[in-house]
Amino acid sequence: MRSSSINILRRLINSSGPGLSRQSATVCRMTLISSPFHPVMSAPLFASSVPSRAFSSSSGSENICLVNTKEQFAIARTKIEVDSAPAILYFTAAWCGPCRFMSPVLESLSGKYPDVTIYKIDIDQENIQDKLLELRIDSVPRLHFFKDGKKVDEIIGADVGRLKYTMEKLYE
């Protein structure tokens, strides 16, 4: 992509705000599909505004964990599968408008469902690209829901109504 295309992409994503447009969601999807390694957006555009939390989160919700490495991803998958712990893998990106819309909703729901661990995975982390390819993560936001060690549902896109319904159906 040329720099002018990148600037247009950034403006579209930044302008999406809380009212998501079909155009901004499509832009996020097209950017991801263009390359499995996302060379255009290899670093978060808003790094200074994204809080950084350890794998076992100490600020905000106790049940939201950032996954930044292959090792952390492997630990999360093992915990989900072996311990049969209820969990959500939340694939996101700092530059994605729909993701920025969904994050506060998930934080709010994490308080309502304290037994559900939410693993927040930034797709731009270079050291987890092979895992993303393995799981066929080609768009964000994407949520994988686990119950009793098995993946039971998936949401692609910023659908708050479906997110609330799915969590209520699976975890209450």
Residue 44 contacts residue 124 (beta carbons within 8 Å): yes
Q: Out of 41, 87, 99, 116, which one is annotated catalytic?
A: 99
Which pLDDT value is given to residue 136?
A: 94
Dist CA 158 CA 135 (whole Å): 19
Q: Where are the domains of the chain?
A: 47-171
Does 87 have pLDDT greater than 60? yes
Among 32, 80, 96, 116, which one carries the catalytic annotation?
Answer: 96
Domain 47-171 adopts which CATH fold?
Glutaredoxin (3.40.30)
Residue-wise pLDDT for 153-166, tens only, equals 999 999 999 999 99
Q: Which position has the higher pLDDT, 18 or 43? A: 18
Question: Could you tell me the end-to-end alpha-carbon distance of the chain, in angstroms, rounded to an integer?
Answer: 45
Structure confidence at residue 61 (pLDDT): 72
Which residues lie closer than 8 Å to 33 by C-beta, 6 or more apart?
A: 138, 139
- To the query of whether residue 99 is one of the catalytic residues in this protein, the response is yes
Q: What's the CA angle centered on 164, arms 162 and 165, to 5 degrees?
A: 60
Report the pLDDT averaged over residues 12-28. 41
**Between residues 119 and 18, the one the model is more confident about:** 119
